[in-house]
Structure 1
Amino acid sequence: MSSLQDRLTAGLLSTLVAVFAVQWLLVSIAIEKITENYVTSRLEHEIETLLVALDVSDPGQPRLDIDRLNFVFRQPFSGHYYRVLVSGESLRSRSLWDQEIAISALSTGDARELHMKGPQQQPLLVLARGFQKNGLELTIAVAEDLSPIQRDITEFQVRYAVLTAAVLAALIFIQRTIVRRSLRPLRRTRADLRDLEQGKVRRLDESAPDEIKPMVQEINRLIAVIVERLRRSRNAVGNLAHALKTPLTVIAQISQDPALRAHRELKQSLDAQVHTVRRLVERELKRARLAGEGPVGSRFVVEREVPPLAQALRQVYAEKTLELDMALPEHHDFAGDREDVLELLGTLLDNACKWARRRVRLTADEAPGFSFRVEDDGPGVSDAQLSGLAQRGRRLDENIEGHGLGLSIAEDIVDQYKGTIEYGRSRSLGGFQVTVHLPPQRAAS
């Protein structure tokens, strides 16, 4: 169970169930005890009535004045019974019919309270006391059927249990409502994190409860540190690329020194290494130009970012006077890092501009995520070369000056976003075609 709300609900539910169960048990016991005490007091009153109604003036012939007794004692199986033991004689109520109350004689002052089965196997509460009247020892036992009272107690227990369950359900509902409202700041923070991942915001909203505010502030601090480190890293790469241009030019001039002509292998190796480093430098400089001044980690807005990219490429390939056709959806953005997508588009468009004769076309779809197609009217590639593109790191144009690391850069970025990239021949322009699909980048719910 990973949900805080479920944990709190489970904890409260188990606690309330235990408390209400103990309360229900104690209330039931208390009700039974109160009821039994009430019945006992009534039985004591009936014993006193029987004692007064008992005539023992003739020791051999004790009798009861029936008129003084309650009518229920004369009604068969009425639920109210008595038995009197005196001088070896036993007087019993008519309500017992031919049954007996199994009670033994008690000494004067003794009392006994017990439960037993009645004439119809109903539960009876029996109260027996020993007396002395006119010098004679006698025992009076009075019993009452507890069935009606027990039915009332059972009905009360059921109603009390239903009421308790209703109160328990109401408390759980109230508790879940309170917890849900209390967790709203966490849900807002989660939404802010999703917006942060998608580049919609630069930091989390710190208007949070005191319990989570330190965490939000720490996340914002870490975001600032990471963004600053990324900015410094990218600036350092760009600065390094600029700094290497002059030494590379000097080394290239040295490689043309007539003294190296006698060392052909050394000269060729030196030229190759200079060429490789120069391609890397040009790639970083071109990436910096394409990225522009946008904030680090911001989301990629198609209609805002692509036109400046196209304009930069027109300037780079101004001598070719290329036609860059763009079909872009309106109000479409992609929750990916702006510089990653710019580098992906820049690499593919740069490759198309390099090989194109007159036209380059970029077509983007409105599908979720970011799907686009780059085409040119250049010579294209053969079927054998298309199959070779499936090999990681294979570059068709690595001998073209200034191309950088080629299509492998695009493949790495596409893999990073778990997308797909396909190569083929453009049906409309006749040259090379690259189709890319980057799926929506959603935060975990």
Structure 2
Amino acid sequence: MSNAEALANDPLWLVIVKAVIILVFLLTSVLFAVWFERRVIGRLQRRPGPNRKGPFGLLQSVADAVKLLTKEDITVRASDKVLYIVAPAISVFCAFLIFAVIPFGPVTHIPGTDIYTPLQLTDFPVAVLFILACAALGVYGIVLGGWASGSVYPLMGAVRSTAQVISYELAMGLSLVTVFLLSGTMSTSGIVEAQADRWWAWPLFPAFILYVISMVGETNRLPFDLPEAEGELVAGFMTEYSSMKFAWYFLAEYMNMVNVSAVAATLFLGGWHAPWPASWAGADFLNSGIFPPIWLIIKIWLLMFVFVWIRGSLLRFRYDQFMRFGWKVLIPVGLAWVVFFSVGREAFDAWGRDLNVYDAVAGLVGILLTISVISFITDSKEARAAREAATEEPEPEVLDAFAGGYPVPPLPHQTLPPSPRSGRTVEASATRTPEGGE
């Protein structure tokens, strides 16, 4: 039985149960993500992080949530009241929708019933396009919230968010084109099934790196948090929000982190499939029962660690650097990779060669190209710094002309110290009368 047939036979109560489980999973993941991020950054910066509320500080996130619930809810007078309240709800609602098409496991029998159902709420042939659409619509919550606040800083953050989505949605879409070509489908369950023997992260390595960079930009996380940018915009689009409305934005941000990590795990890291040693060893029991959801959750949290690692390691870009990186680096690289992979694969197919060999070679070439691009960017920065240092005028060296016992004229990079008699001459001229007397 295929996934589509099994999902079509799900009774209404089962659909409701799946939706509730997804909701509980996302809310629990957000609470854990807040604690996880603070603990990991604390370790990266050689400090303990939260360690007072509960064992290992696990209840710190609960305390923060209660604090936001009990804070005073302030509404700005100059705001557009309806959009001011609806905007955070849009972001949260769109964040909830994405997980509806993420598969947690294969078709599974529910104990005590005669029902066989996939561990997935729903699926359809263009599920990945549905994910991109929900991610794009979620930005309307940021844009409307910034515009409806009736303040300058939120409006600037909203405008930045619009430019950010246009730039990084294009790069993200390009990174997924080769996934569709290789899988032959846009269905999330179909893409996971196509990775039964290998993960797409290897043959599509540049696309995977491109997606990881784009997902950080898509979720407004450091070093791409220009819509918030507390160093210059106070808090950006969230400046005029407090209490629960602020908590909704906070919730949407961390939900989106979990969402994009789940999408990356589904499209590039085999989804709910066991890691490759188990798959190659033929250990089928690791891809059944309770194991598939565990594998997917482990992959999600490995990618969440990448989010936290980047935040604890990098500084925020300037806005011009941010836009230049999106339009002049990510999009050209994505286009070049799509052309290289699709043309090469079609050529191999026309010659009657083994496409698996091409995929392996393309992955190796992609890794080498990725390393080369990173090295080029790094070397360019170092060369630019060296040129700037070379063009700077050096400080002239002060020469002691009588150090060797006899006067020596200064070289072009040297200068003589001021004459001790010059000060006395200036003082004497200042005290001299106009008639020449003293």
Instruction: Give the TM-score taking structure 1 as reference length.
Output: 0.22
Instruction: Give the TM-score taking structure 2 as reference length.
Output: 0.23
Higher strand share: 1
Which of 1 and 2 has greater Rg?
A: 1
Higher helix share: 2
